[in-house]
């Protein structure tokens, strides 16, 4: 039987990488990894694992059609934070939708997030959420046979990188945020496992392919819950609430992150139907997802 081709944007990255690995575990799909550089170490590794590799650049719309041609499905993610991004995330997404339509993609899966700007009545400006949400309508109205929205939580992997606790000279660890640790609540998950949701959506388009939103959240926690879990595993972690002014001095996009956390103090991370989005993903992925406690015991051992 000829396998149907699924093209995966961002295949060398966190979200797309998880999608590639989940699809390779199944016999039904031929995975086409889309990258800007087929000769990169990460792309060569994907070829070794059995992917076809195609080159395309979201900043060069003309390259997209050729890379997608002949695919049944597409997992589409954009990287708001990529320094090489010359085009806005909305423009990238819109171009991708057009190229996918031209290439006759049957199932379009868009990695999106809610529009915090609109949901907060303009109070919380968080462009990396809003610019993804603005693409949703392009996806909805393009006329794909199936389309599905997937939503990523706060990655566990952030705790190893940009949100790793800071070591203090006396051996403690510190998280310093402007949010109230008992009020700021958010979903988190192992981002590799977004792939399980995408694979389930492709396998069950009758349950997911009519514009359903599927959200990954193995845990929905307050900062204090995370501190308690890690301290029970031997960490000496403390949470210090800092002022907006202090936090904004930490890094260049701090204000955007502060707005995001302030949204989480009052609202569901995934928006008004957030619990429904999580429940739908959980219903489609029978094996479930790795809990923070288990992930941390493997990846965040106290030093
Ligand atoms: N961190 C979080 O907690 C979190 C939560 C929710 C959503 N997000 C969103 O996740 C997105 C990033 O996804 P990720 O974490 O999977 O990224 P990542 O691990 O940093 O990888 C970025 C991927 O994007 C590809 N890429 C970048 N620019 C491209 C372009 N111009 N054309 C084609 N491909 C391009 C790269 O491919 P090549 O280099 O191989 O071309 C790479 O595979 C961001 O938009 C962010 O807002 C993050």
Q: Is residue 96 within 6 Å of ligand 1 at its C-beta?
A: no
Instruction: Give 219's Cβ-side CA count (13 Å radius).
Output: 21
What's the distance, CA 117 to chain centroid?
19
For the chain, list residues with pLDDT below 50. none
Q: How far is the CA of 182 from the centre of ligand 1 (A)?
A: 30
DSSP secondary structure letters along 57-102: BTTBTHHHHHHHTT-SEEEE---TT-TT--S-HHHHHHHHHHHHHH
CB 190, CB 218: distance < 8 Å = yes
Q: Is residue 90 within 6 Å of ligand 1 at its C-beta?
A: no
Q: How far is the CA of 228 from the centre of ligand 1 (A)?
A: 30
SS3 53: strand
Q: Whose CA is nearest to atom 8 of ligand 1?
A: 152
Token pair 């199944």 is found at: 26
High-pLDDT (> 70) share of the chain, %: 99
Q: Is residue 13 within 6 Å of ligand 1 at its C-beta?
A: yes
Residue 119 vs residues 116, 127, 217, 268: alpha-carbon distances, Å: 5, 13, 20, 10
Measured from the Cα of 162, ligand 1's closest atom is 1
Q: Is residue 155 within 6 Å of ligand 1 at its C-beta?
A: yes
User: Which of 82, 89, 154, 253, when mutated, tests ligand 1's pocket best, judged by the most ligand atoms within 8 Å of its CB?
Assistant: 82
Taking alpha carbons only, the member of 191, 182, 204 closest to residue 79 is 191
pLDDT of residue 66: 97
């Amino acid at each position: 039987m000829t396998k149907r081709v699924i093209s995966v944007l961002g295949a060398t990255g966190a979200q797309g990488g998880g999608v590639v690995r989940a699809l390779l575990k199944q016999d039904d799909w031929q995975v086409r990894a889309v990258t800007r550089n087929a000769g990169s170490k990460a792309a060569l590794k994907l070829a070794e694992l059995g992917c076809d590799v195609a080159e395309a650049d979201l900043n060069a719309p003309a390259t997209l059609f050729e890379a997608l041609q002949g695919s049944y499905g597409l997992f589409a993610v954009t990287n708001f934070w990529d320094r090489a991004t010359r085009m806005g995330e909305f423009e990238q997404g819109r171009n991708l939708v057009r190229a996918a339509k031209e290439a006759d993609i049957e199932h379009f899966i868009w990695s999106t997030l809610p529009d915090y700007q609109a949901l907060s009545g303009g109070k919380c400006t968080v462009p990396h959420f809003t610019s993804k949400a603005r693409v949703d309508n392009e996806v909805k109205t393009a006329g794909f046979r199936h389309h599905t929205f997937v939503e990523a939580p706060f990655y566990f992997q952030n705790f190893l990188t940009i949100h790793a606790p800071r070591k203090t000279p006396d051996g403690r660890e510190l998280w310093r945020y402007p949010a109230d640790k008992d009020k700021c609540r958010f979903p988190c998950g192992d981002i590799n496992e977004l792939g399980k949701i995408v694979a389930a959506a492709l396998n069950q388009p009758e349950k997911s392919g009519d514009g359903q939103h599927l959200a990954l959240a193995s845990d929905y926690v307050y900062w204090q819950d995370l501190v308690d879990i890690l301290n029970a595993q031997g960490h000496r972690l403390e949470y210090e609430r800092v002022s907006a002014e202090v936090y904004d001095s930490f890094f260049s996009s701090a204000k955007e992150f502060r707005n995001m956390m302030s949204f989480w103090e009052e609202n569901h991370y995934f928006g008004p139907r957030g619990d429904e989005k999580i429940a739908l993903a959980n219903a489609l992925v029978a094996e479930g997802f790795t809990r923070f406690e288990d992930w941390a015991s493997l990846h965040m051992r106290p030093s």
